[in-house]
């Protein structure tokens, strides 16, 4: 008898909690939503966020305020979002830096990338390109691998600094191909791409979004793209799979997250609105022009993706003994 009463009370409690959550979701949102971007205005993530914010403003019926909080390789903005109230009114644009590399590169990170957030959806991905200076005879991935094996440590590659996405993207390929390329760090794409064009360095692995202004100028050779299919604007550039390296897949990515313990009903509502935004042809075209591919995923799929990226980059960071303080 007592057991039946306990079960009845538990069922009543669950029903009440479900009703409260549904009521909260129906009333959400009732005020503006802050969308934290952990990088400066005008960057790749920011350029993707602003048109998305416009779509979400219409879909959710409330203003979406983009809040740029750069610094610390993305750790400052991510920390701010992690510590925010889990009420659905502070969201974060997560990236490779905030949720895969940065938390493992910095010695003092005030949040747990896997536990302190509720993944909502992956928004877009920007594939990595392999480009070569016009001053070297590298036109294919095979050319690169053969030249690197013939002269280990001689061919140079650029990055935006130790632990930056281009650095790790190159080291991942080094590991896969069994080659050794000379690392030459610069202060971001604003310096590294001109260095490639000038022939100061031989090759560069970098995001297609960074390369967009130069792609059709002929000022460097685009060797391959790390995506499942060829890029529409570069129909003659093969994928790494077509070049004989199907195991190399690498990209910058952008996703939406909320602080841990945000209600599932709110997570699901935001997820639905982002998926609706990604279905608009004008938004998809805008992403393409910025060098990004729309994705759209469930919270569970995005959580699994983040964990896999965290583990993949973690192996490289550990193998290289990288640490940024």
pLDDT averaged per 10 residues in sequence order, the chain, 325 residues: 45 44 70 93 78 94 94 91 97 95 91 97 94 96 97 92 87 93 85 92 90 86 93 91 94 96 98 96 90 94 97 90 80
Q: What pLDDT, on the 0 to 100 scale, is given for residue 25?
A: 56
The answer to whether residues 254 and 263 touch, using CB atoms and an 8 Å cutoff, is no
Q: In sequence order, what are the beta bridge partners of 206?
A: 129
Under 8 Å between Cβ of 149 and 179:
yes
Residue 26 confidence (pLDDT) = 66
Which pLDDT score, from 0 to 100, does residue 215 have? 83
- pLDDT in the model for residue 11: 43
Task: Give 112-156 pLDDT, tens digit per residue.
Answer: 999 999 999 999 999 999 999 999 999 999 999 999 999 999 999
Contact status, residue 160 vs residue 189, Cβ threshold 8 Å: yes
Q: What are phi and psi of 298, to 5 degrees?
A: -80, 160
DSSP at 86: S
**34 Cβ neighbours under 8 A, 6+ residues apart:** 65, 67, 84, 89, 90, 91
Residues β-bridged to residue 1: none
Whether residue 221 contacts residue 215, with contact meaning beta carbons closer than 8 Å, is answered with no
Question: Where is 304: in which H helix or E strand?
Answer: helix 299-320
How confident is the model at residue 79, as a pLDDT?
96
pLDDT at 15: 42
- E strands, 96-146, are 117-132
Nearest one of 164, 120, 106 to 300, comparing CA atoms: 120
**What is residue 319's predicted lDDT score, i.e. its pLDDT?**
87
- Token duo for residue 71: 């610094």
Residue-level length of the chain: 325
Sorted by sequence, the CB contacts under 8 Å of residue 224 that are 6+ apart come out as 129, 130, 140, 141, 237, 238, 239, 240, 242, 243, 245
Q: How far is CA 149 from CA 142, 145, 178, in A?
A: 11, 6, 8
CA 17 to CA 295: how far, in whole Å? 33
Q: Which H helix or E strand runs over 59?
A: helix 44-60
pTM of the model: 0.82
Tokens 């897949």 belong to residue:
249
Q: Cα–Cα distance between 247 and 104 in angstroms, integer? A: 23
Element (H, E) at 94: strand 90-95
Tell me the two tokens of residue 67. Answer: 């809040």
Contacts of 219 (CB under 8 A, 6+ apart): 134, 197
Query: What is the rounded distance in angstroms from the CA atom of residue 226 to the CA atom of residue 206?
Result: 10
Q: Residue 90 in contact with residue 36, Cβ under 8 Å?
A: yes
The confidence score (pLDDT) of residue 245 equals 95
Q: How far apart are CA 38 and CA 79, in angstroms?
A: 9
Q: Is the dihedral of CA 114, 254, 144, 160 positive or negative?
A: negative
Q: Go through the domains of the chain in sequence order and give each one's CATH number.
A: 30-125+252-320 (3.40.190.150), 127-225 (3.40.190.10)
With a CB cutoff of 8 Å and minimum separation 6, the contacts of 190 are none
């Amino acid at each position: 008898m007592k057991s039946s009463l306990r079960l009845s009370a538990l069922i009543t409690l669950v029903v009440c909690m479900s009703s409260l959550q549904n009521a909260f979701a129906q009333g959400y949102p009732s005020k503006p939503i802050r969308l934290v971007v952990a990088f400066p205005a005008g960057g790749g993530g920011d350029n993707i966020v602003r048109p998305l914010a416009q779509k979400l403003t219409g879909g959710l019926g409330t203003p979406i305020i983009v809040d740029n909080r750069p610094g610390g390789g993305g750790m400052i903005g991510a920390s701010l979002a992690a510590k925010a109230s889990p009420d659905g009114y502070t969201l974060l644009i997560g990236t490779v830096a905030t949720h895969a590399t940065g938390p493992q590169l910095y010695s003092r990170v005030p949040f747990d990338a896997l536990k302190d957030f509720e993944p909502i959806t992956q928004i877009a991905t920007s594939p990595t390109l392999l480009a070569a200076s016009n001053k070297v005879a590298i036109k294919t991935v095979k050319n690169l691998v053969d030249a690197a094996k013939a002269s280990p440590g001689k061919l140079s590659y650029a990055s935006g600094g130790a632990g930056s996405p281009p650095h790790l993207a190159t080291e991942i390929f080094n590991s896969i191909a069994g080659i050794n390329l000379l690392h030459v760090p610069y202060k971001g794409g604003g310096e590294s791409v001109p260095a490639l064009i000038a022939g100061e360095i031989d090759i560069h692995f970098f995001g297609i979004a960074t390369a967009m202004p130069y792609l059709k100028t002929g000022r460097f050779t685009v060797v391959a793209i790390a995506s499942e299919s060829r890029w529409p604007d570069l129909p003659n550039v093969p994928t790494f799979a077509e070049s004989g390296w199907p195991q190399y897949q690498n990209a910058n990515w952008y996703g939406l997250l909320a602080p841990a313990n945000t209600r599932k009903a709110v997570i699901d509502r935001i997820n639905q609105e982002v998926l609706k935004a990604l279905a608009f042809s004008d938004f998809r075209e805008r992403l393409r022009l910025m060098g990004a591919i729309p994705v759209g995923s469930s919270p569970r799929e995005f959580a699994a993706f983040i964990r896999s990226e965290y583990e993949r980059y973690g192996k490289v960071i550990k193998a290289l003994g990288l640490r940024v303080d």
